[in-house]
């Protein structure tokens, strides 16, 4: 985790957030800010994990729609299962309504609306 934090801060110039809270065990992971509406959450891999296992927790897409009803209907019609939500969660721009689902490669995706 320390190597990743150092890399993103030093090599890419991103600012780290929630590091102290993570170090105190108050939050599950630190984040790195890409821009006003985009962050990267870093998570630790477990010892003995397969090398194919990614340490990417998820990525988040933001919609301008005032709610997620249409998105949920579209995803379900395409056979995509909603894993969690809709629920209010903290994110790059504060609290917002979001859902989680997976892409065909099993990457976790968050779709949120601040509307």
Q: What is the pLDDT of residue 111?
A: 92
Percent of the chain with pLDDT over 90: 41
Give the angle subtended at the CA of 38 by the CAs of 32 and 39, to the nearest 5°.
25
What is the mean pLDDT of the segment spanning 3-22?
Answer: 87
Q: What's the CATH code of the domain at 80?
A: 3.10.180.10
* C-alpha Rg value of the chain to the nearest Å: 15
Is the same domain home to 30 and 70? no
Q: Model-level pTM?
A: 0.63
User: For residues 74-97, b (16+ Cβ closer than 10 Å) or e, as one string?
Assistant: ebeeeeeebeebbeebebbeeebb
Give the pLDDT confidence of 63-90 residue by residue, as tens digits: 889 999 999 999 998 889 999 999 999 8
Residue 52: inside a domain: no
Q: What is the pLDDT of residue 16?
A: 96
Give the pLDDT confidence of 94-109 residue by residue, as tens digits: 999 999 998 877 879 8
Report the domain count for the chain. Answer: 2
Domain that holds residue 23: 1-44
Q: What is the pLDDT of residue 49?
A: 52
Q: What is the pLDDT of residue 97?
A: 97
Q: Are 44 and 54 in contact (CB under 8 A)?
A: no
């Amino acid at each position: 985790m320390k190597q990743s934090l150092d890399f993103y801060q030093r090599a890419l110039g991103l600012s780290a957030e929630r590091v102290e809270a993570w170090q105190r065990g108050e939050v599950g992971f630190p984040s790195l800010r890409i821009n006003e509406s985009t962050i990267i959450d870093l998570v630790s891999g477990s010892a003995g994990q397969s090398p194919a296992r990614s340490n990417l927790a998820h990525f988040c897409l933001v919609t301008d729609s005032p709610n997620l009803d249409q998105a949920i209907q579209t995803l379900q019609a395409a056979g995509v299962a909603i894993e969690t939500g809709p629920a209010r969660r903290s994110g790059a721009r504060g609290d917002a309504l979001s859902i989680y689902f997976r892409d065909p490669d099993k990457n976790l995706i968050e779709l949120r609306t601040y509307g």
